[in-house]
Structure 1
Amino acid sequence: MLAICTGLYDIHLRGVVGDMVKRRWTISVLLMGSLLALAGCNEKPATNKPVHEKEKVTEPEKQPSQKPQEQPPKEEEKTPVVVNVIDPNTKSIIKTFLPEELGFASNQDSYKQEIEQWAKDLARGTNKTAGYDQRMVLDKIAPNGQIIKGKPLIILDETELVNRVMTASAEGGEIELPITVTESGYKPEDPAHLSEVVVGSFTTYFNSGVVGRSRNIELSAIAINNVIVGKQDIFSFNTTVGPSDAAHGYQPAKEIVNKKMVMGIGGGICQTSSTLFNSVDQVGVSYIEKHHHSLSVGYVPQGRDATVSYGGPDFRFQNTTGVPLLIRTIYAKGKLTVEVRTSAAYKGLIKK
């Protein structure tokens, strides 16, 4: 009986174990199927790497470092040398020079000659432009005692200007024109006393019946009457009288031209200039310009004449007496007198 029970128990146990094995096997199959299903869902193309592996980033191959090719050093651009010439009155640039372009470095002599010609034209003027140089127009005393102002003497120093440009041409820069302005050399209180004493006088005569000539002498005498010639002032007959043409009231009269007597507007004014010369010659002025006629004239001694022509020969002198002077003219029928006067206080100071 026991054996039967034991056998039955074994049979039963085997059944139980078999059922358990079957269940485990079934569970295993199901589990494997699930895993296969999951593996199928996560499947990637064959070219892809396994999920557990990190993708490696391929870096570009490093080329061997090359030193940049050295460029030749650039030459520094030179700033051109520029010389600006300034007008000291207006402060404006009147001329700009580029010395290098004009050959300053290669031919300095030629460069200097060009600057000299420019300076000459600038000072004295050309046919198209007026120069900086200006003759002095002397002041006059009007009949009412008021002063009629003239113009100062203006001189542009050509030599100094050339030197300044040449010096600046080496490195460039600005230079000013070397201009000298000279006012008349007398004091404000002088005019009231300059007519006090006569220190020089001369008289010439003419035929008052020759109307044209007489009128020309009169007009030129009026032009120089009561002119103040200050210390060191330069008197110019042509500048003081101006054009002796019909527009200014001058008339036709005989005059000497190339050793011949010809009719011309303004004939006779040389008698005024010659009379003035013989008067101022008594006080020892210095002469800057004086010319003789090509023929002898009868109104002054031989060689004592001073011919003039506007735009041509001039009679010019400088007052080197050391005191201011006054020119006084007295025109009468057939007679012209020119006096040189000054104040009584200055009479004894005149240098002769």
Structure 2
Amino acid sequence: MWKIQKRTWILSIFLISSLVGLAGCTEKTVKDKSLEGSVTEPQQQPERKPQEEPKKEEEPKPVVVNVIDPITKDLVKSFLPVDLGFGNENDTYKKEMEKWAKELARGTDQSPGYDQRMILDKLDANGQIIKGKPKIILEESELVEKLMAASVVGGDVELPLYVTESGYKPEDAAHLDEVAVASYTTKFNSAVVGRSKNIEISAQAINNIIVGTGDIFSFNTTVGPSDAAHGYQIAKEIVNKKLVDGVGGGICQTSSTLFNTVDKLGVKYVEKHHHSLSVGYVPAGRDATVSYGGPDFQFQNTTGVPFLIKTIYGKGTLTIEIRTTNAYQSQLKN
């Protein structure tokens, strides 16, 4: 009996001890969870952006002016206006631009200018057109205005070139020989070989020249130099009121014959000069002296229609005719 009670008592103590241990474990677990809940995680600091450096002010780009040829698209000149005084000495700068524009238009001893007289078209022996050259004018004042404006902001400036083609229709060329509307003949001594040859060469140079409406005919430009290289010979010519020997003597008879022919039409004279002495092949005051590089005979076709210059060289005679189409004959202004 005593053994049974003793065993029961020991077992009871063991169970009580076990329950106390479990209670202790449970309390610890609750406390641990409570502590875990009360722990505050460290807050994440915001990422700092690198401090931006202050922007540097951009230096202004230099003002550059480029002058362009509108026909070839080539660069004629490029410069910085400030280097030439723009902004400080504008009046002086403008004068420099005017000087440069003049040289560019008219040329210098070293280079030709843009300005170009018209070289008129011509018909060959088969009636085909031989092209000449158009009239070209570089407007100097307009160029200076463009340069002054561009000097403020820079940029490209195209040369103000004005190109004028001959005033006739290509399809009319084959018919311009249909009818003569004016004619004049002068005589010379065919035995004087040198002079006769010079008349022949210069007459051939202006033969079959097409003068379009509004075109300006220049004898010197059309005929060219009257020198030995072009076949001209020594003959008498008037120089400073004296008859002297010179290469090309006699070409003034060709220019004077042409003057008396076109004078029958409504043309406008651009340039015309008299000899210093009377000549025998035209009446007094009806001559037109010429010299390549010097006096020229120029007229503008203001008749309202295109026409053809026709020369007929014979033994001792030179005849020059102005011819046009049958249709244009009635429209021609005298």
| Distance across 1 between alignment mates of 2:205 and 2:181 | 21
State the partner residue of 1:107.
Answer: 89
Match of 2:122 in 1: 140
Equivalent residue in structure 2 for 1:272, among 251, 254, 264: 254
Percent of pairs identical after alignment? 72
- Aligned match of 1:79: 61
Q: Which runs of 4+ in 1 moved over 4 A?
A: 73-76
Matches of 1:295 and 1:100 in 2, distance apart? 58
Q: Give the residue type in structure 2 aligned to 1:197.
A: V
Alignment TM-score, normalising by the size of structure 2: 0.80
1:175 corresponding residue in structure 2: 157
* Partner of residue 309, structure 1: 291
Q: Does 1:251 align with 2:233?
A: yes
- Superposition pairs of residues 146-225 of structure 1, within 5 angstroms: 146-225=128-207
| Residue type of the alignment partner of 1:160 | E
Aligned pair partner of 1:92 in 55, 64, 74:
74
CA distance in 1, matches of 2:250, 2:183: 20
Q: CA deviation at 1:74?
A: 7.9
1:284-323 alignment runs, 5 A limit? 284-323=266-305
Equivalenced residue count is 281
Matched residue, 1:15:
none
Shift of 1:76: 5.5
Deviations along 1:311-337, one digit per CA (max 9) or x if unpaired, are: 221111111111101000111111111
TM value normalised by structure 1 = 0.76
- Consecutive unaligned residues of structure 2, counting only runs of 5 or more, are 1-53
Q: Give the aligned residue type for 1:179.
A: L
- Letter matched to residue 202 of structure 1: Y
CA RMSD of aligned residues (A): 1.7
| Residue in structure 2 matched with residue 340 of structure 1 by the alignment | 322
Give the partner amino acid of 1:272: T
Residue by residue over 1:194-231, the C-alpha shift from the partner in whole angstroms, topping out at 9 and shown as x without a partner, is 11121111111111111100110011001101111111
Deviations 1:132-190 (A, max 9, x none): 12211111111112111111112211121111111111221111011122221111221
Instruction: Write the letter of the residue equivalent to 1:273.
Output: S
Question: Matches of 1:81 and 1:351 in 2, distance apart?
Answer: 55
Q: Any idea what the Cα deviations from partners look like across 1:20-63, whole Å, max 9, x if unmatched?
A: xxxxxxxxxxxxxxxxxxxxxxxxxxxxxxxxxxxxxxxxxxxx
Structure number with greater Rg is: 1
Query: What is the one-letter code of the residue matched to 1:194?
Result: L
From the two aligned structures, give the one with the greater helix fraction: 2
- Deviations along 1:104-146, one digit per CA (max 9) or x if unpaired, are 2222222222111111111111111111122111111111121
Distance 2:130 2:153 in 1: 48
Q: Secondary structure at the match of 1:250?
A: coil
Q: CA deviation at 1:263?
A: 0.6
CA distance, structure 2, for counterparts of residue 273 and residue 333 of structure 1: 18
C-alpha distance in 2, partners of 1:75/1:255? 77
